[in-house]
Chain A
Amino acid sequence: MVHALKDIWRVLAPGGVLLDLRPYSASWPVEIVARERVIRLGAVDDSLALTDDIAASKAMQQVVDDGWYVREENGTFSYDWYWDTLDDLRTHVEERWSPITLPDAVYRRGQRLLADLNGVRVRVRLHMIIGRYRKQ
């Protein structure tokens, strides 16, 4: 990670800006959205991603401490992704979000509830870190 941040430093113009935008582990809620109703099913299991989150934050801190970048602003926000079906969500998590997983209990609960509902979607609320850094 630090090697990547240093090579990005190399290709940035003097005073150039680096934006770090990434998800962070916070047990993202999984919900069913049915018109005005929102039913919480549970959360994804992102415990295995925590190590990566910590390593990423440490890498950013290291390049700041070593004088490559100056941290100018940072924050967090949340936003939603929607799927038509629980199976679409499960496929996406398996194919794109490793090591995050959709727990079987959440999937089974969703299947039971969805059997009785029409015109619904499945939603995950992702939590994000955003930070702006300037090349020193």
Chain B
Amino acid sequence: MPVERDPQEVETRYLHDFVDVKDACVLEVGCGDGRLTWRYAAAAARVAALDVSAWGPAQARQDCPAALRSRVHFMQARAETLPFPRETFDRAILAWSL
């Protein structure tokens, strides 16, 4: 496993430059183990982060900081059949998933 992923936080800067997640309801597709989720979730109102794998969301739930647990939900799901009603989210982040 990598010991350090993007220590200069270049990806984080680009993410925040490109999309404002403050107080937004965010859908993240391809969350894996939550690597990217931790870089924006504190600013969002609510995050639904999903991945096709079972291990990713399971690991992310385990690692989720206590302060985020009520707002960030990890689940196994496919982007082609999202388990949400219409017009649920303000932002969607495709994270390495196209």
Contact = CB atoms under 8 A, between A and B. Distances in A.
Real complex partners, A and B? yes
Interface in B1-55: 1-8, 10-11, 14-15, 18-19, 25, 27, 29, 36
Nearest to A59: B98
A22 B4 contact: no
B58 interface: no
A75 B14 CA distance: 9
Contacts of B95: 21-22
B75 to A, nearest CB: 14
Interface in A85-116: 88-89, 91-92
Name A's interface SS: strand
A16 B98 contact: no
A132 B18 contact: yes
B66 to A, nearest CB: 27
B73 interface: no
A84 interface: yes
A80 B1 contact: no
Interface centre among A4, A83, A91, A121 (most CB of B within 10 A): A4
Interface in B69-98: 78-82, 84-98
A75 B15 CA distance: 11
Nearest to B33: A96
Q: Ordered nearest first, which 7 A-B pairs have the shortest CB separation? A: A4-B79, A56-B98, A79-B10, A82-B4, A3-B80, A79-B6, A13-B87
Interface of A: 1, 3-5, 7-8, 10-14, 16-23, 56, 59-60, 73, 75, 77-84, 88-89, 91-92, 121, 128, 130-132
